[in-house]
Each structure stands twice: as C-alpha cells, then as structure tokens.
Structure 1
C-alpha cells in the first residue's frame, strides 16, 4: 500500500532523535564542517552526514548547508530525514539543499513539506521541486499560487516556469487575473513563468503585458516575446520598443532583430534615436540583423557622432555586418593600431564579431579575407592593462563563426586555426565553438591544444572547453585522451572528463578533489566585530556602494576584501555589459578570460538575485576568483547556481550607466 507524504514524513521523523553527546566543542565542529565543505567531500567516514545529526541545531544547520553545496547524491537520504527536524531553520536548510542535490527520492517528502505551517519552508520546498522538474508536483505547486504568504506564491510561480508544463499557463493566467491590480512582485514572476514555459498559449498573455504598470512585467514580457519570436510577437514588440523605460525598450529592440520588414525597421529607426544609449545600441545591432541597407546613413551618423561608445561600436558592427565598403576600409585601418589605441581596439572587436557572422552565413569571400587579415595581425595584449586588440578580435570572429552550419568548411578551418593560437580567449572560444560540431577531424588539433595548455598557468577554463569539445566527438580515439584529462590539475576539468567517460563506458572513474588554491582564513567564517561590511567603487561614471554578506559567503567576502586591500581592482575595466542583465568586471586581462591565479569554492545559498545583487561569475563549479558581476534586474535562473555575496545599496543609476571599457578608479573597504 502506498504511503501518503504525511505518513512518510512521520516515519522519517521517528528516525531523527539520534543526538550523541558532542565530543568536540561547537566551534571545532563548525570548523570541521567548513573543511569538509571546502574539500567537497562527505569525509572518509561520512563525518559530514554524522554532523548533520549533531545535538546542536547550529551545527546541524551548517552541516546541511555544506551538504547542499557539495551536491553529493549519497547525502540525499540524510537530507530527507532532516526535513522533519524539530528546528525550523534546519528544515529550511534541508529543503534548499535537496533542491541543490536533485535527488528523486526527495520529491514525495518535499511535497509533504508544502503543507508545513512555516511559510519560508513551504517556499523553499516549492523552489526545490521546481529545480527538480518534478512534473508530478505540478498540481500541488499550482495550488500554492493562492497561498496567503506572498513569498510562497512568488516562488510557486517561478517553480511552474521551471517545470515548463504548458498546462500550467492557465493556472498562471487565473492567478494574474485574480485581482484587478495584482501585487507587482507576484505579477512579474507570473509573466516570467509564462514566458519561460513559452509556446503559443504564452504569446497573448505576454502581449497584453504592454499595458502593465510594472517595469519588470513589461521587461520580461519583451524578453520572452523576443525569445518566442513567432509572427504574432512582432506587433507587441514594436509597441514595447517605444516604452520610456530603457529596460523595456532595449529588450524589445533586441527582439525585433527576428523580424525583417518595413514595420520592424521603422520601429528600430525610431529606437536608434532613443535617449538611452542601451536602447540605441540594441537598435543598431538589430538593424544589422534584419539586413536593411536603407538605414546605413543613420548608422554612419551614430558611428561618428553618438556620445556613447556602446552605440558607436554597435553601429560599426552593423555597418561591417552589412558589408558597407567604407566600414570595411576603416576596419583594415584599425588592425595595426588596435594595440595602442583603446577606441580603435574596441571598434575592431565589434567589427570582428560581424566578420565572424558573415563567415558563418557563408558565400562571402570578402569576409573570409578580412578574417584572415585579422588572424595574421600581431597580438596586442602585452600587459595587464593593455587595451583589447587583435587577440580579442580573433576571439570575436570565432564567436561569430560558431553559428555556422556543419557543412561550412571555411568556418571549420577558422575554428581549427584558433586552436593553434595560445591566447586564452582565442583558443577557448575556438574550443567552445567546436563543441557543438562533434567533428572527428578536430581530435588531433584539440589534443595538441590541450597538451600545450597544460604547460601554461591559469588555463583551466580553456582546458575545460577543450575536454568538452573532445567529449562531443564520437570516435574511439577520444577515450584515451579523456582518461589523461582525469589527471588534470583543475577539478572542473577532471569532472568534465569523468562525466564523459561515464557516458561512454557506463562506469564512473574516481575523481580526486584537491584543496582549493585559496582558503578563507578561519576568522572569515563568521562576521567579525568591526570588520568591513561595505565597499565603495569609484568609477568613471560615479560611486557605487555595496554591502557584503560575510555570514553567507565568508570565503568570497574574505577574498573580495583581500583583493580590494591590495588595490587589485583599481584601474580595471568593465569588460562585459549585457543590458538588462549584468555588468561584469574585475578581470586583469580586460576581456573576460583573466583570473587571479587561484580559484575559490562556490558558496551558493538561499539569497536570490535581485536588482543590484553582487555575484561571482565562474567557468564551472568552484571556479570563482577575482571577477564579479552585478545584476541589473532580478535573474531567477541564476538563483541556486551562483554565489551571492553582496548587494548594491547606493548607486543603482551609476550601475545602469556603465559601459564596456569604463574604468574602476578605486575600490575601498569601509570600516577598516
């Protein structure tokens, strides 16, 4: 006879009372947990699981947090038991950890937790079921759209978006229409979920959001209409492109790139005159995508006169993409000076991406010639603060060429030539692009690039891409290469190799987890009296102040403060801006491929990414370091995947104004 979830939990609760006498002090046990978490192991004797049954609630909770970060399925049964702990903080931690572990045996207990009297636990259980894509939980999660607690309703909506069941759109519509003026936080999450589910049923509801009063509702409507991109999406996107809010208008302008034709072209021409530079930049890129030459004069004016470097670069990209002869001539002039002039360097990179797109489209001998000229140029990244130049332009070409169909031999040859260039960005981009091809002809070049990369410091991300590209190739010669990669110095590379070997052979090899290069000092495990909790960034555009979260991410905060004290961020550039998504900086190379020479473990927790949240970018699990990003808007797809370690409290308008190439003048800790 099948037990109901409530019965299951009562049986699990009966197994919990183990509370052996503590042989060690609380601080010593907490230190032991931190060590096991850092080494990403349950302990030779399963010590971390034993600590999750400690008599001290704080120790149990901390052990559960560690189990969630390690994500070892062997801990799932212990975490299920802890859903019935008598201390609600432990139950909450267990629900979140099960969502990180994705163990199928947790579905029924998590469903039972949806009825818990604690609203935060209900919300966390809902979120976990969404991460697990538990289709059988859909009806139960839909009912929580009517929960009296706003946080539960909000996470129920997002969970339905992750489940991705088209039948849930009707329940989401009813929740949206339940009140004439729904709570704005609930409203945007409903529209986000509807957009994530997608399909024909989503389009009318997203289209109707053009009149919603909440900026985030209109923004997510525009983003998902752009993603769905069926003919019925064009009219609402044209309307949203006129929105006075830059987040909305820029998202809509980007979406209009899928609709060649006079109506979309006219809307983009108007957007090219929008007062916000983000919108103008997206309009320029979209005009190139719809292949209209009628707007070349407007793009030329933008290139020469727009005050924003973002718009000038986008306009140059568009002109080169449209094969405008004057732009191609200027591109050739930029190649020899890109290493000494910042503006020329960034224009070259923008144009190089367009060249790659033309190579990918095929049948464009001039694009192939231009790509060859850039690949024969001299490397410009001579120092940590040198402007991006030929090497970054080469990578941009390869990124554009990555979309080429498999039969495009010119693009394939270009990607292979990229593997032979030792620059991080060039080789890494080539490997990443080859991953989608699975072409056995690339095995030799990939193997040689991997061998060469092992001799160079700080290239774990490149090797990860190289091993992933090898993993995508169905050829007997690949297996011995993957077995060699099991001895790679980088844990993330070894993990990729092990996963691929398991898929090929059905057996998972042992993967050693070595100590991290960087370890937070023990004093950083908890907030210290008088320690800095706020940092100030002075940028070319103004001041940004960020509150840090040492209790949630001690290693990240300790690392961040250490780098700030050394002056590491002073003079660094903002190297990535995706509007409205994130601003990213802190790279010593200035192109997104640099690091500080070490990695730190993820400290993923329950804080969610909202507007202004500070997070740690990574190339794979446990590969954070010196770079950072700040979110322009809530980003639910990052929740539970990236470490949150701070929040902007002053300067959101400055954040919005940052462009690629803007400098961080100084970074200082407050209170030290």
Structure 2
C-alpha cells in the first residue's frame, strides 16, 4: 500500500508529459499537490515533480507548483522561493506566490510583501496587503478597504482588517455593514470587525445572530457564535454556555471554540464536560478540545494531551497542528 501514492505520482507526471487537454493537465498538477500535502515524508521524492511543474508552459500548472512548494520545500527556503515567483510574467502565478507568502506571517518577508504592494495587478496587491496585516503593518490598509467592494475578496479582506486592528478602517466597515442585501456571512464578519474596532453595534449584532430562530437558521450563525467569544461581546459567557448545554443546538462546537477564545476560566468545567460527554460526535469533542487549548489553562491543556490518542487519525492531525501553533 505504501507504493500506491508513487503510482499516482507517476501517472500524474505521465499525464503532464502526454496530455494536451489543459483541464486534465491541471488535474494532474492538483493530484501532485495533494499527494505532497497529505504526508510531509513524501517531500524528498516529490521535489523532482515540483521542478517539472515549475517548468511547465501552462500557467495553471505553474500556479499549482507554487502551492505545492509549501508542502515540499523546507521552511527556510520558502520565502526566497516565493519571492522569485513574484517576478513571474503571469499574474496568476504572482497571486499564488503573494498569497502563500502572506500566509507564512513571517516578519522577514515584510520587505518582499511591501514590494508586492506595488504590483500592477490588484489581486497581487491584495494578497500582499493581507500579509502586511498579519504582521500588524498598515501599509496595505487602503488596498484592504478597496477590496471590500469585491465580492470574491470581501470576506478575507474583513478578516485581514480585523487582524490589523487599525481604527482608520472603521468608516469603511460601517458603510459595508449597513449595505442593503449584504450576504449574511459578509455581514456577520463585518460585525466582528466592527466589534474589534470598538463599535458596539457589531457586538450587538453578533449576540442577536446567535439566537436560534427561524429567520437565522443559516450557517453564518456558527460564525456569529464563535465571534461572540473572540470579540468578548457583553453577555457572551452566558450566551455561549446556553448554546453549549443545549444538546439539540448544532452550534455547540462553535460555542466551545468561542468560549476558548473568550478566555474566561469559568468555561473550563463546561468544556471538559462536552469533551467527556457520552455519545457526543467526535466533531464536538474536537471543538471542545480546541476550546480548552485556546482557553490556555494548564489543567485543560493536560486533559487535551491525555485524550489526544482517542481521536481519529484525521482529528489527531488537526488537533496536533493547533497544539504546535499555540505552544
């Protein structure tokens, strides 16, 4: 079974060599990327495939190679590799490189991201602005505000503005929040940004959105529940506990994560109770574990370490990644 992925790799490389259909060639490149992302131990044997993808004449294949590099290359090589891709003549490749560079959130990438803010293509500048926001640098503020008018960028732009925390963005986010027929997810995300920037209207919206009523059955309710804790809205502790205790509420997991982000020690026994609840779905137990880890209380974190082996392989991997990110 261990050789199965190698057979898939070889078939994908053969398709890239022989296929003329752009869609099938892109599909082959995607397969190589997923093979690399699934298991870090495959990186040495997939490095040659990365070289092959980077030299491909098809733009979509080269763009996939940029993403694949994040799973194949050592961490210390990534900034230089991505910086080089920012010089690619194709904007789609530069967009991918800027986005991957932004996701690294590395202070030593600030100069490279600053140069990408001068790219002639707005999508590249947007990704660079996200990266600067993750470093708490306001140089991309204007780009992020401009992206609020772009349907496909708005949600991520709001997330970056929340991370940046610059109150100069407040008027633009207020205008967006009050826009007629704004999609629900965008409105809830905007409410979270308002709350983080000090506008109580946003926190009020989030608390109201957590109510389980016929009019707000949509999936953005879970986002509102978690954001209530993250922005520390008034009354969030009691509201999130009520959701957590309601076994018929499908936002119990979001409430667990929200309580963790809220950071109130009173939530410790409630989260432990969900973690140990008989017959509870693993997703909820995973959310409880995440909430306990975010809460940061030693007793809760020790309990998470103790139960980690009891989770499925996929859940263990997700939880282990969180533990590594928040030591």
- Give the TM-score, by structure 2 length: 0.59
CA distance in 2, matches of 1:433, 1:124: 31
Partner of 2:43: 75
CA distance in 2, matches of 1:156, 1:287: 28
In the alignment, which of 439, 452, 461 is matched to residue 283 of structure 2? 461
CA distance in 1, matches of 2:230, 2:118: 48
Change (3 A) 1:155 1:452: same
**Is 1:112 aligned with 2:112?**
no
**Is 1:47 aligned with 2:6?**
yes
Change (3 A) 1:401 1:122: closer
Q: Structure 2, unaligned stretches of length 5 or more?
A: 17-24
Partner of 1:425: 250
CA distance in 1, matches of 2:202, 2:266: 37
Deviation at 1:63, TM superposition (A): 3.0
What SS does structure 1 have at the residue aligned with 2:13? coil
Partner of 1:222: 172
Partner of 2:69: 98
Instruction: Give CA deviations for 1:513-534 in whole Å, capped at 9, x if unaligned.
Output: xxxxxxxxxxxxxxxxxxxxxx
Q: Structure 1, unaligned stretches of length 5 or more?
A: 1-35, 37-42, 177-183, 208-220, 227-236, 261-285, 290-313, 319-344, 351-386, 507-672
CA distance in 1, matches of 2:138, 2:254: 39
Change (3 A) 1:75 1:474: same
More strand by share: 1
Partner of 1:129: 101
Deviation at 1:118, TM superposition (A): 3.4
Q: How does 1:424-443 map to 2 (within 5 A)?
A: 424-425=249-250, 427-436=252-261, 443=268
Deviation at 1:50, TM superposition (A): 5.0
Instruction: Give CA deviations for 1:491-529 in whole Å, capped at 9, x if unaligned.
Output: 33x33443466679x8xxxxxxxxxxxxxxxxxxxxxxx
CA distance in 1, matches of 2:298, 2:117: 49
In the alignment, which of 274, 280, 304 is matched to residue 449 of structure 1? 274
In the alignment, which of 321, 330, 346 is matched to residue 213 of structure 2? 346
Partner of 2:20: none
**Is 1:157 aligned with 2:95?**
no
In the alignment, which of 279, 300, 310 is matched to residue 487 of structure 1? 310
Q: How does 1:389-408 map to 2 (within 5 A)?
A: 403=232
Instruction: Give CA deviations for 1:255-294 in whole Å, capped at 9, x if unaligned.
Output: 599568xxxxxxxxxxxxxxxxxxxxxxxxx4995xxxxx
Partner of 1:168: 139
Deviation at 1:417, TM superposition (A): 6.7
In the alignment, which of 489, 498, 507 is matched to residue 320 of structure 2? 498
Q: How does 1:327-406 map to 2 (within 5 A)?
A: 346=213, 403=232
Deviation at 1:161, TM superposition (A): 2.7
Change (3 A) 1:464 1:424: farther
CA distance in 2, matches of 1:129, 1:287: 31
Deviation at 1:462, TM superposition (A): 1.7
Q: How does 1:501-512 map to 2 (within 5 A)?
A: none
CA distance in 1, matches of 2:29, 2:312: 32
CA distance in 2, matches of 1:402, 1:111: 35
Partner of 2:19: none
CA distance in 2, matches of 1:170, 1:503: 26
Q: How does 1:583-662 map to 2 (within 5 A)?
A: none
What SS does structure 2 have at the residue aligned with 1:463? helix
**Is 1:61 aligned with 2:20?**
no
Aligned Cα RMSD in Å? 5.5
Change (3 A) 1:430 1:122: closer
Instruction: Give CA deviations for 1:273-323 in whole Å, capped at 9, x if unaligned.
Output: xxxxxxxxxxxxx4995xxxxxxxxxxxxxxxxxxxxxxxx8xx69xxxxx
Q: How many residues align?
A: 287
Q: How does 1:189-208 map to 2 (within 5 A)?
A: 198=164, 203=168
Instruction: Give CA deviations for 1:53-76 in whole Å, capped at 9, x if unaligned.
Output: 834414852433324653748638
Change (3 A) 1:48 1:146: farther
Partner of 2:297: 474
Deviation at 1:96, TM superposition (A): 2.7
Deviation at 1:110, TM superposition (A): 1.9
Deviation at 1:95, TM superposition (A): 0.8
CA distance in 2, matches of 1:411, 1:247: 28
Deviation at 1:433, TM superposition (A): 3.7
Change (3 A) 1:64 1:196: farther
CA distance in 2, matches of 1:51, 1:60: 10
What SS does structure 1 have at the residue aligned with 2:277? helix
CA distance in 2, matches of 1:121, 1:52: 24
Q: Contact 2:128 / 2:140 at 8 angstroms: preserved in 1?
A: no
